[in-house]
Amino acid sequence: MATIEEALEIEQLERDIFRGASTKTQLPRTFGGQVAGQALVAAVRTVDPCYQVHSLHGYFLRPGNPERPTVYMVERIREGRSFCTRRVTGVQNGEAIFTMSASFHVGDDGPEHQDEMPTVRPPLELPDAKESMSPERLWAMREWEHWDIRTIPQDEVDRRGGLAAQQQVWFRYRHALPDDPLFHVCTLAYMSDMTLLGSSKVIHADEPTQNASLDHAMWFLRPFRADDWLLYDQQSPSAGAGRALTGGRIWNQAGELVAVVMQEGLIRTLRDPEAGSYPPGTA
């Protein structure tokens, strides 16, 4: 399957118009993380390098066709001394499939604090998913074969009182990535859509559902590398009416909180379980 470099590749067609590559996939719909990642790359290409992206807010509007490229149109909403803002619309066949606002900031000095990282088993003490998954699950995860994803067993999750559903996942890209910090941010935007909606399913594991991302928001807090281990501490505070709210905090191994994610997703009961479901993150 596609490498992250291939998945995030975009071509500049005009000053603020880009075309994202369509890549080899086994998914029936475009993976939402790829759309968000490509949209962010397009926004980054229109911003002076002195600005760093600190947040994004996106909506998945229509299913994407993975066999067609997506065109991204960037609007330059604000050009400030400390902040600038971009709005990006992803289009296929004349219709918007994704829209996103991204904000960029020139860093400055200020007070610092952060929550404490959960206490969990180190990633290398957990089995590689490639060695522990069933053949059926392993086939489904071929889409992300370049990622090392290791889930903390549910009986070992560092639980916080009163939370309805929790899940904790270590992940990293298996191969060395370029040093450009913005490439790691775009890579994390891609990966952050994977597994997060699954946190809403840990207490409904036996219920067949149709799952898809509806919206996605991220805040990038500190520098990180996506080819180093990151802990994705996930929770789902509520599910109902066919939708689930999920959130995640992402830590590096040094215990630094590097990003926060919120997402609402479709988690609709399947009327016909034989019809199957789409993986979380398909837009």
List residues with catalytic annotation: 193, 213, 263
User: How is residue 225 written in tokens?
Assistant: 């590398």
Residue 190 near residue 35, CB atoms below 8 Å:
no
Beta bridge partners of 105: 52, 83
Rounded to 5 degrees, φ, ψ at 257 are -80, 115
- On the 0-12 / 13-18 / 19+ scale of CB atoms within 10 A, 194 is buried
